[in-house]
Amino acid sequence: MPTDNMKQAIDYSAMPDERGHFGIYGGRFVSETLMQALDELSDAYHKFSNDSDFLAQFDADLAYYVGRPSPLYHAERLSRETGGAQIFLKREDLNHTGAHKVNNTIGQALLARAMGKNRVIAETGAGQHGVATATVAARFGMECIVYMGAEDIVRQAPNVYRMKLLGAEVVPVSSGSKTLKDALNEAMRDWVTNVDTTFYIIGTVAGPHPYPQMVRDFQSVIGREAREQIQELTGRLPDALVACVGGGSNAIGLFHPFLDDEAVAMYGVEAAGDGLDTGHHAAPLCAGKPGVLHGNRTYLMEDSGGQIIETHSVSAGLDYPGVGPEHSWLKDIGRVNYTAVTDNAALHAFHRLTRIEGIIPALESSHAVAYGVQLAAGMSPEQSVIINLSGRGDKDINTIAKIEGIQL
């Protein structure tokens, strides 16, 4: 474990380096066909992320289209019943389209438009990123293709229909495990083939440089707002932050603006599925090892020969064998604690929040709620914990009903 002195020496804002490395993680591991496109994207992102008109447009869209700032809600009843720290929920579920994903798709769609690309593609797991992409594509009048694992299409039927209503073409992917990773492979193939006309809107803080950095920057609005809001509400910084981690974009979005605040502990919650010891999970940071997949070096779920293994989580949005490279780095340097919550614990938290606060959380976010409540229980009432409620659970009601044997 690094010492406090080592932590102080780290300039978090300087990461990644020019070629997208977070320590040994990140980078750009793609076929040659995409290298030039990624260089162009890096240049465009560098240019527009320093352009005041572009940033003003982004902020205005977040305010008037997404509905930001999202509230930081003091879950008083949940806090009281838990009997520990005060629990605050960052309400990303109240964003337009119902999750944090739209913060990023707005940013990337603005960039696509600025770069003159009128066709956007995306991969999606739970369907939230697909919906968020289809939404901004509709608004900007762009052609939109969404790749989605055939299994996820079944699990997330309402979101598939939403994407179609928004004018997107949803392409089922039947290779491999038929989930998010396979959708990502297929989206990469589309991009390689149509690289001149197409902008690939990646939905998480993974992939080749500059995606992990760019998506983090777009999502950091979550943490910037939360940092101001908690100080307004409590007069001080929080004691802990909790967010679920699949690819890790909502977590990085919340964590990043707090990284320099050493007293703020951070917990990233992966999907333990049936339990870490069963092997049926989606927790590369807790139970995987470093490797290279989808354009970056990061922790992966892989076998001893380097083949990517199939993951399991009740939550489609966490069902991914990799994770954003910045998380891998934050794990290794000890700045963020990574833990995992089982399907059952997440389902329990789903019901608890729904019944106690009248807020139906996404199954992904339910993982964060489960761990956050457990963490708060061991803290004192003067302390505070912010849980990122990254999305709303309407999309999951079919899954929940099925698990519980209820016919809708």
300 near another protein (CB under 8 A): yes
302/343 with CB nearer another protein: 302
Query: Which entry of 92, 123, 302, 357 is annotated as an active-site residue?
Result: 123
Q: What is the DSSP string of 254-291?
A: HHGGGTT-TT-EEEEEEEEET-GGGS-SB-HHHH-EEE
Letters for 5-34 (x = contact with another protein by CB under 8 A, - = none) are --------------x-------xxxxxxxx
92, 217, 302, 396: residue in contact with another protein (rule CB under 8 A):
302
Closest distance between another protein and the C-beta of residue 370, in Å? 30
183/266 with CB nearer another protein: 183
DSSP state of 231: H
Distance from C-alpha of 234 to C-alpha of 253, rounded to nearest angstrom = 21
Question: Is 390 among the residues known to form the active site?
Answer: yes
What backbone phi and psi angles, to 5 degrees, belong to 353? -65, -40
Query: Which entry of 178, 270, 390, 395 is annotated as an active-site residue?
Result: 390
264 near another protein (CB under 8 A): no
Residues 347-406 touching another protein, rule: CB under 8 A, are none
Query: Which entry of 42, 70, 90, 101 is annotated as an active-site residue?
Result: 101
Checking 274-281 for CB contacts under 8 A at 24+ apart, the result is 274/312, 274/342, 274/343, 275/342, 276/340, 280/312, 281/311, 281/312, 281/313, 281/340
Question: Is 101 among the residues known to form the active site?
Answer: yes
Q: Locate 172 and state its tokens.
A: 């089922």
Closest distance between another protein and the C-beta of residue 31, in Å? 4
Task: Provide the H-helix boundaries in 271-362.
Answer: 284-287, 325-333, 343-357
Which H or E run contains 295? strand 295-300
44 near another protein (CB under 8 A): no
46/164 with CB nearer another protein: 46
Closest distance between another protein and the C-beta of residue 194, in Å? 8
Give the residue carrying structure tokens 């438009």.
113
327 near another protein (CB under 8 A): no
Distance from C-alpha of 19 to C-alpha of 27, rounded to nearest angstrom = 6
- HSE, CB side, 13 Å, CA atoms: give it for residue 311: 35
89/293 with CB nearer another protein: 293
Distance from C-alpha of 297 to C-alpha of 195, rounded to nearest angstrom = 23
186/357 with CB nearer another protein: 186
Size of the site for another protein (CB under 8 A): 39
Distance from C-alpha of 314 to C-alpha of 143, rounded to nearest angstrom = 31
307/407 with CB nearer another protein: 307
Residues 178-197 touching another protein, rule: CB under 8 A, are 181-182, 185, 188-189, 192-196
Strand order in the sheet with 25-29: 21-22, 25-29, 295-300, 289-293
The site for another protein (CB under 8 A) is made up of 19, 27-37, 175-176, 181-182, 185, 188-189, 192-196, 290-295, 297, 300, 302, 304-309
Would you name the residues annotated as active-site residues?
Answer: 101, 123, 390
